[in-house]
A and B are shown apart, each in its own frame.
Chain A
């Protein structure tokens, strides 16, 4: 099968060759011919050509020189060089500078030439397809970025207003004025907000390029603990940090990782425990930082330990989103970190992570 709409330009200073080419291929291709490089350029200016064949030996401009001259102006057509001589220098030049797809010796064999043109056209199509796909992908990416931004603002802003109203209701002493309705609204709003935040974390983790900056764990860890203990005063945190080395890492992802683990440690406490404890230990070494987060909470069942890092895995005990630890794992993957977990329903859970020092 031939593609009838393949537009081929053939440049040769011998009229006979042009005629012979036309005679052989006019049924298969839309053929344009030119008697010199200058004439060939004129054709290119007016018609969108997909495959160019050029004779090497022409007075004035050679085939390779012609191809070189159009690399910037007409980069898309696929080039085939025809030559009557086995000219090694022309061949080397053609490969190195002319971006030439095939090299065919004259007199040509019709079948060989036909196959070359067909393959050249396929290469042309692949090139254009790829470019279109890249453009499409860039557009989708752009839209996704805008979508993420709009989730983080437009979509969240009215939700946050509702949460503000609930706060106001509390301040005015009206929280219990309508049975449990206000508290139900509050629970729903908080849940929705939590999902929005986790979704954003997930996408940001996927898209943001890793950027390494100096991290001071003496500052970072207490800040995170303060952030997550804001609404909870029952849990006692003990933070122990050893940092005598400089540490460089991706602060966005490290915050995501530690934030999720700290908030889990608070969330999955034993309700009956009087002495709720979480300890965070950080040990910065030259090659890596080792962090452990140990709680005396409800623990994780043995048979669940393998699954906790998978998306949407939820324990039955406490309604989580099934996203927190999944995001932790994804973020660690991006920065070549590792995590292990050990747990005992009687004692609590210990997460240990190591993150390489990018210094």
Chain B
């Protein structure tokens, strides 16, 4: 399939979902490399370190909404001030099991988010987002 994308970063406090979604992405061969973080904080540390070491930055982020301490929306607030080298080349989709109208509206209104994907993640839906927003 589309295996020309490089790195994806998954951020989710739920380790079961992290496992499931990594596996789905792996089987579908969407990315060469999969990085997982169990909190927004861990993800920001990872991004900062990668920026400092001139490492391989993610091309795509799948971001959970409800997480303790720092939720997906709070992550975006910090993310948008990170260097353009990252934010200019990285696409974000949110991923949540939410049915809450407020959450859905907020995600759709956010400038940095191309799409709110619903859990469970379906390979077909992810493929569509990648095709539309991540030209290979």
Residue pair B97, A160 in contact (C-beta under 8 Å) = yes
- A residues in contact with B16, CB < 8 Å: 158, 161
Main secondary structure of the interface of A (DSSP, over half): helix
- Pick the contact of A153: B21, B24, B98, B122 (CB < 8 A): B98
Question: How many chain B residues touch the partner (CB < 8 A)?
Answer: 20
- B residues in contact with A164, CB < 8 Å: 17, 20-21, 24, 119-121
Closest 5 CB pairs of A and B: A164-B120, A160-B97, A164-B20, A152-B99, A160-B119
Is B100 engaged at the interface, CB distance under 8 Å to the other chain? yes
In residues 37-51 of chain A, which contact B (Cβ within 8 Å)?
none
- Taking residues whose C-beta sits less than 8 angstroms from the other chain, chain A's interface range is 20 to 34
In residues 98-136 of chain B, which contact A (Cβ within 8 Å)?
98-101, 119-123
- Pick the contact of B24: A160, A161, A167 (CB < 8 A): A167
Additional 11 contacts, C-beta under 8 A, given A161-B20, A171-B24: A153-B100, A156-B97, A156-B99, A157-B97, A161-B17, A161-B119, A163-B119, A164-B21, A164-B121, A168-B20, A200-B99
Is B45 engaged at the interface, CB distance under 8 Å to the other chain? no
CB closest residue in chain B, given A151: B99
Residue pair A171, B27 in contact (C-beta under 8 Å) = yes
Residue pair A167, B120 in contact (C-beta under 8 Å) = yes
A-B contact pairs, 27 of them (CB 8 A): A149-B100, A152-B98, A152-B100, A153-B98, A153-B99, A153-B100, A156-B97, A157-B14, A157-B17, A157-B66, A157-B97, A158-B16, A160-B120, A161-B17, A161-B119, A164-B17, A164-B20, A164-B119, A164-B121, A165-B20, A167-B123, A168-B23, A168-B24, A171-B24, A171-B27, A171-B123, A204-B101
Total A-B residue contacts, Cβ distance less than 8 Å: 57
B3 to chain A, nearest CB (A): 16
- A residues in contact with B120, CB < 8 Å: 160-161, 163-164, 167
Report Cα–Cα, A204/B101, bound state, in Å. 9
A187 to chain B, nearest CB (A): 15
Report Cα–Cα, A172/B20, bound state, in Å. 12
Residue pair A153, B20 in contact (C-beta under 8 Å) = no
Residues of B within 8 A of A (CB): 14, 16-17, 20-21, 23-24, 27-28, 66, 97-101, 119-123
Q: What does the 1/0 interface line of A181-212 toward B look like (CB < 8 Å)?
A: 00000000000000011001000100010000
Is A252 engaged at the interface, CB distance under 8 Å to the other chain? yes
CB closest residue in chain A, given B119: A160
B98 to chain A, nearest CB (A): 6
A204 to chain B, nearest CB (A): 7
In residues 301-337 of chain A, which contact B (Cβ within 8 Å)?
none
Residue pair B27, A172 in contact (C-beta under 8 Å) = yes
A199 to chain B, nearest CB (A): 10
Residue pair A153, B97 in contact (C-beta under 8 Å) = yes
Which of A161, A197, A200 lies at the interface centre, i.e. has the most chain B CB atoms within 10 A of its CB?
A161
Which of B16, B20, B119, B120 lies at the interface centre, i.e. has the most chain A CB atoms within 10 A of its CB?
B120
- Pick the contact of B99: A163, A167, A168, A197 (CB < 8 A): A197
Which of A152, A197, A204, A208 lies at the interface centre, i.e. has the most chain B CB atoms within 10 A of its CB?
A152
- A residues in contact with B123, CB < 8 Å: 167, 171
B108 to chain A, nearest CB (A): 12
